[in-house]
Amino acid sequence: MHPKDISIFDFTYHLPDEKIALHPLDERDASKLLIYKDGIIREDVYSNIHQYLPESSLLIFNNTKVIKARILFTKPTGGVIEIFLLEPYKADYTSTLAATKTCQWKCMIGGASKWKEKMELQIVNLELAVQLVEKLSDAYVVEFIWNDSISFAEILELAGNIPLPPYIKRKADDDDKDRYQTIYAAHDGSVAAPTAGLHFSKNVFENLAAKNIQHDFVTLHVGAGTFKPVKAAKMEAHEMHAEWIDVSITTIENIIVNVNNNIVAVGTTSLRTLESLYWLGVKALLHPSLQQLHITQWEVYEELASEKKIAAKDALIALVSWMKKNNLTKLFTQTQILIAPGYQFKIADAIVTNFHQPQSTLLLLVAAAVGDNWRKIYNYALENDFRFLSYGDGSLLFI
């Protein structure tokens, strides 16, 4: 079956509200860990994850950092308008977050109908003004203007709030500033945490190193599209959100060296990045003169499908060669890849991931990795007191 023909209603299950974790556990690595391999389910806790990974495995983490993307403006009448930052508008994250005086963002707006004029927010000695620039099909373009030479990243630290997902039905508190962030977060840009990594503590990394298990990092800034519900009955009518990936040439070379070992993606974003690297490499191998490389939603099932026998190592070597030819030390591009049942994995041998919402593209990705056994896995988790979604427990799934 082509993934276009998949019915999202075949990927649902009943998730009671009480199963959704509203707060993280006191200790990151105390979360429960479901291990699935060769059809067998076991359970443990994250502090012991090293016991289930082969020596010399390579773990790939997403080191994006969550920004305080939710800003509340109170109108003189007392009404509140919420601005949720999605991504910089026609600019990159680095320059936009470093901008002074003004910048533009693509945003969602709560209470947009109440917004009649430019609004201002007083923050200590700082005046922050916002105005609508343009209405897009699925969002708004908003311009931020402030009367100081500080960066917009600093503005967000002063004025923003942690953007907890909509299913965590409470206000963000001081604990969330630390706990809705991985301990290795390095690059500002996400409006949602790469939650599989929230369970990794200093102790876990020490245990992994003692077993000669390596790790490396990619960067994919997680957008609000990760929570975008699939409203179409058939996946053909669903537009997958595009995300920017940022991967160094040294990381790709590290993956090449380890491609025949166990490569474990920590999180769905890391997995999407790894598999996108393969297909970008295929494009570089087939069309070395291309000036830009990116992945669209369906091409791995259509235009590129006949090339699926190209070895992962050959594709990645071609990608490195293409980067060197174009004088690139980092690959910064978009991927819209949809990983769903029928997809054949090229690089990842396993994934560490949380338990996802029914009828979501994240659940489709899990089903692509473990087949119809996703129901067995999720039923086990529901029946054995696993906590679900962003602050919940997680799993190690071997593909």
Tens digits of residue pLDDT in 164-202: 998 999 999 999 999 999 999 999 999 999 999 999 999
CA distance 91 to 96: 7
Residue 84 lies in domain: 69-161
Mean per-residue pLDDT of the chain: 93
Q: Please say if the pLDDT value at position 258 is more than 90.
A: yes
Please report whether residue 95 resides in a domain: yes
Residues 156 and 271 in one domain: no
Residues 130 and 259 in one domain: no
Residues 268 and 322 in one domain: yes
Could you tell me the two tokens for 135? 């209405």
Of 161, 192, 227, which one is at a domain's C-terminal end?
161
Number of independent structural domains in the chain = 2
CA distance 366 to 269: 12
Strands 80-88 and 394-398: unpaired
Of 111, 127, 161, which one is at a domain's C-terminal end?
161
Alpha helices per DSSP H over 29-148: 93-98
Residues 210 and 83 in one domain: no
Q: What does each C-alpha distance from 193 to 35, 41, 177 come to in angstroms?
A: 22, 27, 11
Residues 133 and 12 in one domain: no
CA distance 320 to 174: 43
Residues 6+ apart with CB under 8 A from 294: 280, 333, 334, 335, 336
Residues 79 and 214 in one domain: no
Of 102, 128, 161, which one is at a domain's C-terminal end?
161
Residues 136 and 222 in one domain: no
Please report whether residue 173 resides in a domain: no
The answer to whether 275 and 345 are in contact (CB under 8 A) is yes
**Cα 19 to the center of its chain, rounded Å:** 22
Q: What angle do CA 341, 34, 171 make, to 5 degrees?
A: 90
Residues 6+ apart with CB under 8 A from 395: 33, 34, 35, 36, 352, 353, 354, 355, 377, 381
Residues 247 and 316 in one domain: yes
Residues 60 and 79 in one domain: no
Q: What is the pLDDT of residues 304-321, one digit of tens each?
A: 999 879 999 999 999 999
Specify the CATH number for the domain of residue 105.
2.40.10.240
Residues 390 and 310 in one domain: yes
CA distance 383 to 34: 12
Q: Please say if the pLDDT value at position 212 is more than 60.
A: yes
pTM: 0.93
Specify the CATH number for the domain of residue 261.
3.40.1780.10
Please report whether residue 172 resides in a domain: no
Q: What is the pLDDT of residues 223-249, one digit of tens each?
A: 877 767 788 999 999 999 888 899 999
**Gyration radius from the chain CA atoms:** 21
Residues 6+ apart with CB under 8 A from 370: 36, 377, 397, 399
Please report whether residue 175 resides in a domain: no
The answer to whether 140 and 112 are in contact (CB under 8 A) is yes
Please report whether residue 298 resides in a domain: yes
Q: What is the pLDDT of residues 327-361, one digit of tens each?
A: 999 999 999 999 999 999 999 999 999 999 999 99
DSSP letters of 227-262?
Answer: G----SSBGGG--PPPEEEEEEHHHHHHHHHHTTS-
Please report whether residue 97 resides in a domain: yes
Residues 6+ apart with CB under 8 A from 44: 32, 33, 35, 51, 52
**Mean pLDDT, residues 93-114:** 90
Could you tell me the two tokens for 177? 């500033």
Please report whether residue 169 resides in a domain: no
Residues 249 and 233 in one domain: yes
Residues 312 and 213 in one domain: yes
Please report whether residue 273 resides in a domain: yes
